[in-house]
Structure 1
Amino acid sequence: MPEWILLRPAWLLALPPLAWLVWRLYRGGMTGSPWHRWIDRRLVRHVVADPAAGRRPRLALATALAALAAVTALTGPAWERAPQPLFRGDSALVIVLDLSRSMDVEDVAPSRVARARLKLADLLARSPADQVGLVVYTANAFTVAPLTADTATLTLLLPALSSAIMPSQGSHPSLGLEKAAELLDQAGLRRGELLLVTDSAGGPETRELVARLAARGLVTSVLAVGTAEGGPIPLADGSLLRDRQGRIVMPTLDEAALRRLAAAGEGRFARLSADDSDLDHLLAPLEGRAPRAAIEAEARGADWLDRGPWLVLALLPLALLAFRRGVLAAVGVVALIPALVGLALVGLPGTALAASADTLAREWQAVAAYRDGRWPEAAALLEGLDSERAQYNRGNALARLGDYPGALAAWDQVLARNPEHADAAYNHALVSALLAAADRQADADGADADGADADGEGDGEGAAGDARGDAAAGMGDTPGDRMGGAAAAARAALEETESLAASDDPQAQTDPAGGRLLPELSSAMDEPSGDFAADLLEQRLARAEGDPAELLRRRFELLYRRQQRDQDGNPTWPGDVAQPW
């Protein structure tokens, strides 16, 4: 037989006063009339008419049922128990994994990053802490998973982790450790364990950081991956990564520096091994505590499930009876009056409401045209609209057409109104940089052409005449065709960056001058921020088809563009701020 209990039985004290109110409602009748003072109570109902006499019993019954249901719900009836752990462990471990290109070295078979993934899978299978988080880093740090007790999900994400999913390159372990500390702070934990899996100790700032974290109660241990001999970094096309001087890069493992880093963080150091001796040493402080499952099994209770809220549903039919006939219809008519007036005003020419409706309709038409690739139509629909949003979207449409000066002018209007508009500022800086690069390229081509004319003046005149004729014949009607050589060169440069962004070669995606990564430039034009960004992002995520690596790469790319911080501003290896590995 199920056990019943009332979680809040004190609400039963409300039943006597409610019963008295119901009785007064039922017997009230003519007591409020002055005639009952002069006429006998047995005769008053026959002498004076009572219009509410027929409704009073039904109203009293409905009120009694509603009061009984409400009081019963407030008492909290319960007849089922739900098991609940009375103990929750607070041990936390955040894994900080290095995904720089040096982790692709094959001095430990099959590669450093592959061995690190296998070792982390063994670590997660041992469930060393109550909560485990995962952070990856290169020149920027990203959260793969916050603190969670679901280690099975983390294990499923491990095969997707590689240097190819990272939007930037370099090795900055201090950023990864800072991100790990943020995860612990967000979880409200004052103590925790950090496990750095890397082949590089970073610079002095990393040792200073782990010392500060240790003073806060965050212990940093190190799992070193690699060998002292090192090895070359293989690229996707089978070649080996070289530095700017053309020498093959050979990252080695500085075990002494990593040991000093672990000592500064008051943690433990281990070198990756084929057996579990490294994990036994690193996880000894965590596994020395009482097992989480055993503690929870001994300290579990059962909470009563409050079923009172379900009784509120019984009040809904009674609430419907409380409405008078025609009241809902009257309320609906009154509520529709403003909308009906607005619809009437929309058709009146010259009114502000009609103008607003027309503007909104044009913006929606422009959005649809942009999404269908009809950029001339989108730009034409947005022309003449003075809102900040319309000017920003018009600039995006003009940039798609190749009308870069027009796009810059539209974004200038946006920035003049709102200097904090980050998307317009980013697109403006991007197109300006492309035009500047195109101008430099055009100047260089002009210098080469002058040299060629000096070598052969006669042939040069004929070639120039043919070129002028071809240029005149090739003039189109699109804004991009009327812009001139610099803008056309900028458009060609943009298409070149898009083709480079689609390449799988990490070296091809790096600026030869050691500058920003080209995928950031191309994706900013391929995914314009603002009203159109959500649809394009949804399309790209749909193309990912559930591939964890692709999803992580897209997510990290978006976060990287928001951070607006690349390897030029972050020291990677001591003395070298632009090392792309």
Structure 2
Amino acid sequence: MSFLSPYWLSALLVVPLYLWLGRRNGWHSQIWLLIALAMLILALARPVFSQKPITVEQAGSDVILAVDLSYSMRAADIVPSRLEAAKKLLRDLVHSDQRDRFGVIGFTTSSIVLSPLTKDTELLEHLFSGLDESQIITKGTDVMSALELSRKMSHAARPIVILLTDGGDEPNYAKEADFVQENDLAVSVVMLATREGSTLPTADGSSLKDEKGHIVVSARNDAIEAIINEGRMIQGPDIGAVRSLIDAARHEDFSGSTSVMRYRELFYFPLVIALAAFIAAFTSIGGKLSRALIPLAALIGLSAQGSVLDFGYLYLAKSNYHHGEFERSAELYAKIDSPQARYNQASALYKAGKYQESLALYRSIRSDDPRFKADVFYNMGNCHIRLQEFEEAREALLKSLTLHYSRDADQNLHAITGVEEQQTLSVRKEKKDQFAQEENKPTGESKPSKAGGGSNMKSDMASGGGGDEGKKVQSDPRLSMSQGKARLSSRQYELINQRSVRETKPW
């Protein structure tokens, strides 16, 4: 048995606190009320029994969200600011649409990929929260760079591109409109500015001024409507309109399957006990209902027994892992229902050479912890490397680096850049396997700390891609995640600030 909302269990501390505060007046007369409260808290924690996961076939569209990060997006004519409204719209969209894949581009006078196409809501939300506009110093807007990068991101015949912008500063977008038509982009625009416009705040709290000392007012630029293709202009951060637009333009750009965990809900058991105890607390039949303590004790005993069994399985699983019995270790970890146990089970399967099974388990893990999810994506990337699926490995490593920077993940990403799918990993036969002995080590085990942190594997391809020993691999700098921590890296901010087009009059 496990709990889907275990944080509610912390509320059980109220029960002993109440007993201590009411010790003078005697708590025996209120024992039923306390039991009702405790059982209600258990029901809110949602106790469940895990059932066998099912495989669900999925298909959807590639949706590329290009977010204008230029200085004018700090204007407050859209409350609280244009950029904050864009972030909220992005969060609401990825949470409400579980069918499509989302990729995110940030652009000013240059464009970078903030997130590759993914269905991982937690990854995307972490990215939006970590975006710090104070690190972006460019003031102009180059819409063409965003369109070009959008076309490179997706292999779909006609990906959906949604620009979240105030319209930029070009008086004419004919060149961009031609590019959209020639490259089959389904482009729509979410206009995040008003006709009246707004002043732009500076770091000292004053309003931005031009070179003549006049206060700059940034208003919407309707000229950008020329690039719309099979879409429309949406006024303001209207989540309903954006969802309707995606539904109307949806087509099957990708298909695949995913594992969905199934649970049997048990909340009604403590809820029934809570109801019975509540009745007993305010009626004369409380004494007769004392027999209800027997099934309550049985329920608590069953839970305690389950915890003891989990501890036993954990001990045996770790022991088998350290003795090289990886398949047996995976079987024992499978008997424990928790994300950490599934992680360890997947790690044991990886050590056993069952990369497909390991990958499927990693995909089923859900967590709100960015560091833990970074490790999961990193291990998924190494599974894909073992399976010679280098494009998938690249996407997994990018997601890992988005959540938490790791030197090992960065090296692996550079190592596989440009490697063809049909190439074999011949270095396995020619060299000693360079995967670290720490790789896939079960969580909870001590291991030496490594510079960069976060990683728990090293790829046998870290020395170079495609078997070319000692050769540096050049990757697309717009996709680089190096030098960062849990948020957007300083290198990404440097790249987006690298150009200075129309800096004098970017409005």
**Higher helix fraction: Structure 1 or Structure 2?**
1
Length-normalised TM-score, structure 2: 0.42
Structure of greater Rg: 1
